[in-house]
Copies of this chain bind each other. A is one copy, B any other.
Amino acid sequence: MSREFHDQLIVIDALEHSNWDRALFEELRTGGVTAIHTTLAVWEDARATLDNIGRWHRYFEQYPDLITHARSAADIQGAKAAGKTAIVFGFQNASPLEDDLALVKVFHELGVRVIQLTYNNQSLIGSGCYEQGDGGLTRFGREVIKEMNRVGMLVDLSHCNERTTLDAIEASSRPVAVTHSNPKWFHSGIRNKSDEVLRALSRRGGMLGLSLYPFHIGGAERTLGSYCEMVTRVVETMGPDQVGIGSDQSRQWKDADLDWIRSGRWTFSVDFGEGSAAQRSWPRWPDWFKTPADFPHLTDGLLDAGLTREQVAKVMGGNWLRFFADAFRPA
């Protein structure tokens, strides 16, 4: 019964970063996922990002029955009608922009619609959540946000440090998003967001994508019921129109890939990120959300937690669709 309801929904996952192949795209179809925002860069510079864009175009040619490139909310609706998953391009770091403001428009032309301003460390735009200090948004950062606002690119603040996050919420003339984080009150992980950030985000019309990444929910032992209770509480406090899902699913990466994702080229040591020397590998996911094929469980859980069907439809993707429609429109 609820699967039938789930299949009617526009389901949008505002962050997936996987080592893609046909099987993973089939998982998305199994989960009834209409669209994902996926990651084309964590430390990559402009040139290396072009490689990743090239790789996606090969995927589009190889798997036209499963996926399609989305440059707009209309493309996401088109994918739903065609029974495919729409792929929205984004960066988890400003590194592809290098120090060149003109590259915002260049990557927009290539279909990039979301840029997270920092990835854990300081970028040329602002401070990441693992930095001790945080000077806030930089001079270049203010120029980049102005240009993203102009061309119609969404500012993502998930991995940003506190002051940089607050500065960017304030500096952006258009609503911004935290695509994949949870409230700190739910779990105190370094990547989760303070009440002050969530209030500022909400006040300025921003979106919060709630994460399912084990380190953001307190581990694989977290129950579906407990997670969905958190979602309902966020819906109550931020309102039903500003909450979505950003699972942070990362499938089929090896431990060596994780070392790159965490340590890039910036250290000769190993940075354990949210892990530790004892838990260096990828974390175990909860049984009720092992892969994106499990998205229907989330629809079930949210209904069980007491959200209305209308609210569930919004949280599962309706809000992201409406928000993307605005955010991706040129000023």
Q: A133-B163, A163-B133 are in contact. Are A121 and B101 (CB under 8 A)?
A: no
Q: When chains A and B are docked, how far (Å) is the Cα of A124 from the Cα of B99?
A: 11
Q: Which listed residue, B100, B139, B141, B266, touches A143 by the CB 8 Å rule?
A: B266
Number of interface residues of A (CB under 8 A): 34
The secondary-structure label for the interface of chain A is: loop
Q: Which listed residue, B121, B132, B141, touches A140 by the CB 8 Å rule?
A: B121
Q: Are A99 and B43 in touch, CB under 8 angstroms? A: yes
Q: When chains A and B are docked, how far (Å) is the Cα of A137 from the Cα of B131?
A: 9
Q: Are A135 and B127 in touch, CB under 8 angstroms? A: yes
Q: When chains A and B are docked, how far (Å) is the Cα of A268 from the Cα of B100?
A: 10
Residue among A101, A133, A163, A268 with the highest chain B CB neighbour number at 10 A = A133
Q: A98-B45, A265-B101 are in contact. Are A124 and B124 (CB under 8 A)?
A: yes
Q: How far is the CB of A148 from chain B (nearest CB, A)?
A: 13
Across-interface contacts of A127 in B (CB, < 8 A): 135, 138
Q: When chains A and B are docked, how far (Å) is the Cα of A124 from the Cα of B135?
A: 12
Q: Are B138 and A131 in touch, CB under 8 angstroms? A: yes
Q: A95-B99, A99-B95 are in contact. Are A267 and B131 (CB under 8 A)?
A: no
Q: A135-B122, A163-B133 are in contact. Are A99 and B140 (CB under 8 A)?
A: no
Interface residues of A (CB under 8 A from B): 43, 45, 95, 98-102, 121-124, 127, 130-141, 143, 147, 161, 163, 264-268
12 residue pairs from A and B, CB less than 8 Å apart: A43-B99, A45-B45, A122-B135, A122-B140, A127-B138, A131-B135, A131-B138, A132-B135, A133-B135, A133-B136, A133-B137, A135-B136
Please list the 10 inter-chain residue pairs (A to B) with the smallest Cβ-Cβ separation, ordered nearest first: A133-B135, A135-B135, A122-B138, A100-B265, A133-B136, A140-B266, A134-B135, A143-B267, A127-B135, A121-B139
